[in-house]
A and B are shown apart, each in its own frame.
Chain A
């Protein structure tokens, strides 16, 4: 990955951040990314982010869990090792339903967590570059790539929109 010089401004409040993002969009400035310590309501539509496709993956994992559980039990209790429980038939669908439900939830949740970690480049032992440790605490950050916006105009933008600090960093 090429080394990019990043200019970023920190805001103290999410309302300031939302206003600044709107200004940047109005001026057609290309924002590299926005970092916030928590999900900020209404930020996605202003940034023009498309809807996450994670839930579609979740549905597929869930269906996979349903099939695994149901077909698995069907095979085990009718072909592999038929056992009579309480005088019920081998293929007792009502008894399968709780486990089918559990595996559906298990597959969907674990699958979505793993997918999310892979897509976001997170995970145990992964070291990520971050601009400033305080964006995980109480600062709201807008970052520009220097290729898109030179330091001077970025500085005036941050000043205009009320950023509390402006920094540069090479990633």
Chain B
């Protein structure tokens, strides 16, 4: 079967998934556990939008890298990456909406977006040249728009190649390669800026020079997982019979290798901060280790130990059962990874702003350089206990303030993903798959006239 038929049954299944996502988002908005700023709702939207935008951007990126390297092995299924890249249209819409909400001040996702806090805080004031709503909104629109432009070029040139090429003609492929090579540095630099704005700046005081790499590796592994799952589904449905075990084996190797790469970055980021032990840097890990221990260590088990030990052998990468099992687990694992990148910072910000609005004694503290990161810990209990990681007695003090989320205590939707978060994820995943399947059904599944098609059909490892 050369073209994919998007059956009504599959369409309805995915629409139900999207509906579940919308219902969950609605329930989150009205749920009692959400605070006055609707932080849980907005952080869920941000978490999933950023996750899937990054996945589609990295699909386009890996396609571009492969075209630039004159690679051929992936050619049989390159339509999948083209389609995943086109999802950047939704990335643009979703991140644009979040950018608009930040611009209009509809939420308190970012501490740097609160004028009073910026005035009273030297660090936020110093960062306002980059961390401001103009950069966030217009930067997102321009940059994700540029990514989407490149994704549409890849698709259009690939379709033109199939219509007009003859399989030996490199002229169109050279033009495709021109755009692919241009996308690499554009994406490489702008992706870092986007990750800093969207994700790293939820912990507005904190920064890590490794963060863009870390987040990018996470999205890359998720992209490979989704590719494996989509290809496996289509192969079981009788499509893509020219995608052989050899191709899947190579995707499994990428999943294995980049899981290790992700772990390398995870550890490097942790170890440098642990070793240097600078207060304003350690705050990030202090919060996560003490308040999110299950996610923090579980992250490492799911995203490193599982793919490392299961996919180490040759045959587990060639058997679809073990490969798709690991792909599904690791996809969820990296979604949780994004969850724990975003949620603690959002909870902290909501708490700080709630205290500030209630006229708390917090403002004076945040003025002191270096003290602000511990400010929320110091609030309500003595500061000396902070460094020993023993702040359990502080939780009671927080419980009384009645603002925000009861920051520092266990809270479904922040401490762990609740049912609403998982439902929202299902919604986004269904939307993503709906879009990918729609664009797959609009062209042939394999380009017959790509100059590398023969190499790919006879791919052997």
Interface residues of A (CB under 8 A from B): 41-42, 51, 55, 59, 86-88, 94-95, 97-98
Contact = CB atoms under 8 A, between A and B. Distances in A.
Contact of B460 (A41, A95, A98): A41
A100 to B, nearest CB: 11
Contact of B267 (A86, A87, A88, A97): A97
A116 B139 CA distance: 56
Interface of B: 267, 270-271, 274-275, 277, 312, 314, 460
19 contacts: A41-B460, A42-B460, A51-B314, A55-B314, A59-B312, A86-B275, A86-B277, A87-B277, A88-B275, A94-B267, A94-B270, A94-B271, A94-B274, A94-B275, A95-B271, A95-B275, A97-B267, A97-B271, A98-B271
A42 B246 CA distance: 13
A51 B315 CA distance: 11
Given A41-B460, A86-B277, A94-B275, 7 more contacts: A88-B275, A94-B271, A94-B274, A95-B275, A97-B267, A97-B271, A98-B271
Contacts of A94: 267, 270-271, 274-275
A97 B270 CA distance: 12
Query: Main SS of chain B's interface residues?
Result: helix
Nearest to B312: A59
A60 to B, nearest CB: 13
B174 to A, nearest CB: 30
A4 B275 CA distance: 65
- Residue of A51, A88, A94, A98 contacting most chain B CB atoms (<10 Å): A94
A14 to B, nearest CB: 14
Contacts of B270: 94
Pairs of residues from A and B, 10 with the lowest C-beta to C-beta distance, nearest first: A94-B271, A94-B274, A97-B267, A41-B460, A94-B270, A86-B275, A95-B275, A97-B271, A86-B277, A87-B277
Contacts of B312: 59
- Residue of B270, B275, B460 contacting most chain A CB atoms (<10 Å): B275
A126 B262 CA distance: 44
Contacts of B274: 94
B196 to A, nearest CB: 25
